Structure 1
Amino acid sequence: MPLSEHEQRMLDQIEQALYAEDPKFANTVRQTNPAVHYKRWIIKASIGFVAGVALLMGGAVFQQVAIGVIGFLVMLACLLWGLSAWRRVVGGSGEAAAPATPAEPKQRRQQRQGLMNRFEERWRRRQEGDDR
C-alpha cells in the first residue's frame, strides 16, 4: 500500500532529521541488508552444528552418554536455527525475501480466480451429469 503524500513528507522529514543528527548511524542503517543478517545466522548455525557433531563423536569415543546427548541437542538446535534463517534468505516466510513486484499479487489473484473458475466449471458439469 503506497504512502499518502502527507505520510511521505513526514517520512522524508524524519529521514533528514536522522541524517542531520547522526549521519554515520543513518548511513549504516540505510546500507544494511536483512539477508546479510540471516546469512550470518546460517554461518553461526553451521559452526554450532559442527561443534554438536564433535560433541556427539566425543561422547561416543569416551563412552559418555551425557556428552553425546548434549551434542545431539546442539546439532538439532543449530539445524533448526539454520533452516529458519535459510527460509528467510530464500524467501519462504520472511522479511529478507525480495519484495514482490506489484504485478505478482495480481497474477496470483488471476491464477487463483482461474483455478476457482475451473473448479466451478467442473462442479457445474458434474451437477448437469456431464462427467468428463
Structure 2
Amino acid sequence: MALSEHEQRLLDQLEQQLHAEDPKFANSMATPATTGISTRRIVLGALVAIAGIGLLLGGVASDTPFSLVLGILGFLVMGAGVYYATTRGKRASQPNSPARKKERETSAPKNFMSNLENKWDERKRDQ
C-alpha cells in the first residue's frame, strides 16, 4: 500500500531529523538501492557452479591418475560459483554523498519538533 503525500512528507521530515541528530546511526541504517543481489551475479554464479559439478562428476567417473585432482578442482569451482551467486557486489554509489547531504540540509525545516507541536496546537484550537 502506497503512502499518501502527507505521510511521505512526514516520513521524509523524520528521516531528515534523524540525519541531523545522529548522522552516524542514520548512515548505518541507510539501505542503498543497490543492496539486492543482481540477476547477473546469480546467473553467472549458477553457470560456474554447473561447470564445477561437471568437473566433479568428470573426476569421479574417470579412471585417470589425476581424477582426484579433477574432482577436488570441480568441488572448488562449484563452491566458488555458489559463493559468487549468493554474495553482493560492491556498492555502486554512496546514497549519503556530500551533494545529497547538502540537498537534504537545504530542504530540512529548522526545527522539526516545533513544527509538529504547532500543527498539534492548531488542531486542538480548531476543535
Q: Which TM bucket (shorter chain)?
A: 0.3 to 0.5
Relative CO higher for 1 or 2, CA cutoff 8 Å, sep ≥ 6?
A: 2
Q: Under a length normalisation based on structure 1, what TM-score does the superposition of the two structures give? A: 0.37
Q: Under a length normalisation based on structure 2, what TM-score does the superposition of the two structures give? A: 0.39
More helix by share: 1
